Amino acid sequence: MGIIVRCRPYWLLLTAMFFYTAGEVALSGWIPTLLTGGGLAAEHASVGVSIFWLGLTLGRAVCARLSGKIKGRALLILLAGGQRPCFSFPSAALWACWHS
C-alpha cells in the first residue's frame, strides 16, 4: 500500500477520475433543468437524462470492444474525431428547439 501512495501516476489518475465523475454527475443533474428551461415538460426532460446515461453506457461498451482490436493511439484519434458529431448534433437540436 505504501508504494501506491507514493506513486505519482496513481494520484494523477485518481484526480482525473474524480473530476470526470464529478462532471458526469453534475451534467446528468443539470440536464432536466436545461431541458425544462427550454420549454420541455418535466416527464420529457427526464427522458433526456435517460438518453444521456444510455449514450454513456453504449459508448463505453463500444470502446471496450474496440480497445481489443485497435491500438491505443489509433483508438484515441478515432474517439477524438467521433466526439465532434456527438457534441454538434445535440447542440444544434437544442438550439433549434429554443429558436423555433
Mean pLDDT of 66-90: 76
**C-alpha grid cell, residue 87:** 457534441
pLDDT score, position 86 = 65
The answer to whether the beta carbons of residues 42 and 32 sit under 8 Å apart is yes
Residue 94 pLDDT class (50, 70, 90 cuts)? low
Show the CA angle centred on residue 64, arms to residues 63 and 69, nearest 5°.
Answer: 85
Rounded CA Rg of the chain: 18
The answer to whether the beta carbons of residues 24 and 36 sit under 8 Å apart is no
Parse the chain into domains and list their residue ranges: 2-98
Mean pLDDT of the chain: 80
DSSP 8-state code for residue 70: S
**Tens of pLDDT, residues 19-63:** 988 988 888 888 888 888 878 888 888 888 888 888 889 888 988
Distance, CA of 50 to chain centre: 13
Query: Is the overall model pTM greater than 0.85, yes or no?
Result: no
